[in-house]
Amino acid sequence: MEPATPRLGWCCQFIPPDGDAETARRMNPGTVTVAALSRLGGARAVEKLVEVLGRNLQALHLQLAEVARHPPYRRLLRVNSGLLPVYTHAVGRPIYAETAVRELVEKGLEHAGRKAREAGIRIGLHPDQFCVLNSANPATLENAVAELEYHADILRLMGMAGGWHPLGAHVNIHGGGRGEGIAGFRRGLARLSEDARGLVTVENDETSFGLDDLLPLADAVPIVLDLHHHWVRSEGEYLRPDDPRVATVAASWRGVRPLAHISVSREDLLADWPDDRLPDFAALASKGLKARDLRAHSRRMWNHAVNRLVAEHLAWADFEVEAKAKNLAVEDLERDALLAGALPATAGGAVRQAP
């Protein structure tokens, strides 16, 4: 990826600007549970999974088409981790080994990867919080390894695995529990295949591993800087691009353009806070708001001052927007970043309609 090319992106689910329920259904993946497949059994279970997979792969193609409608600086997408349901479970594994299912997945993901590469769309994934790579519990660790290999399989089939974060591809996780610490994370990392190790990234959080806790991992894995998590964990510090820790984070990517995360505290909790001033943690805490309240993500990127801060950071990193309104929240950030001159105005206006 070109170091100077900034990107903004949304995560997993598409929100139709007009609220159309049918568009939302078409453009977002569905699922099927282990229990449901177990009840069906045999050919019916295969048929059901094929039905869900067909819908999910089509939704991925539609999401990629939507991202490709926008200027190059909007071409970043976090793919939903539930794309291939029950992939790692004992009930699902034999079904995915069926020729028809395997071919459906391989062809669908190959096509999606080709589309992403042609449009210059950076792809990422983010397993859920139960993926704990430094767990002392053998079963939890085995599940984490299987989950990360599953995510690596998705990117492998999309043609985005092999080497160090090809085309900026990444599978992002949290540090895990404090008990086994950084040493435990390194041990878990060593359990992964070469492809998976070349895709894993780790982000700071508000509870177990803040940014300073993760910096010792900069020699082993890229660090994803989450500005909102850091603000909560530090009780109010806004990291600036010239902070020495930012340089360490950037260097951890080893020449690949870094990725960062952003969100802001919920609108309803900060209803009286001016949208043109950075939220002040101490002032908000004095009104009775707790860290657990402030860490919850907003619906939109409503705070212009936070957006301007992100605009400064776009000089070195791409940003996934973790607000609940997904693609709609990216538009809020986009407007402020354009006004700040952090995005190329000549790229033209983003297309708003859904396919």
Report the sign of the C-alpha dihedral through residues 303, 308, 312, 317, in that order: positive
pTM of the predicted structure, to 2 decimals: 0.94
Residues, the chain: 355
| Residue 226 forms part of a structural domain | yes
- The residue segments making up the domain with residue 180 are 8-18+72-83+119-347
176 inside domain: yes
- Residue 128 forms part of a structural domain: yes
Q: What's the number of domains the chain is made of?
A: 1
8 A C-beta contact, residue 354 and residue 27: yes
249/21 Cα distance (integer angstroms): 40
Residue 218 lies in a domain: yes
Measure the CA–CA gap between 330 and 339, rounded to whole angstroms: 14
With respect to residue 89, please indicate whether it lies within any of the assigned structural domains.
no
* pLDDT, one tens digit for every residue, the chain (355 residues): 444 589 999 999 999 999 999 999 999 999 999 999 899 988 999 999 999 999 999 999 999 999 999 999 999 999 999 999 999 999 999 999 999 999 999 999 999 999 999 999 999 999 988 899 999 999 999 999 999 999 999 999 999 999 999 999 999 999 999 989 999 999 999 999 999 999 999 999 999 999 999 999 999 999 999 999 999 999 999 999 999 999 999 999 999 999 999 999 999 999 999 999 999 999 999 999 999 999 999 999 999 999 999 999 999 999 999 999 999 999 999 999 999 999 998 544 433 333 3
pLDDT at position 129 is 85
Distance CA 321, CA 211 (A): 18
CATH of the domain at 229: 3.20.20.150
- How does DSSP classify residue 345? G
How far apart are the C-alpha atoms of 171 and 155, rounded to whole Å? 9
User: Is position 292 within any domain?
Assistant: yes
Q: Is residue 352 part of a domain?
A: no
SS3 content of the chain, % helix, strand, coil (to 5): 50, 10, 45
In a domain, 262, yes or no: yes
What is d(CA 341, CA 242) in angstroms, rounded to the nearest whole number? 18
**What does the pLDDT read at residue 4?**
59
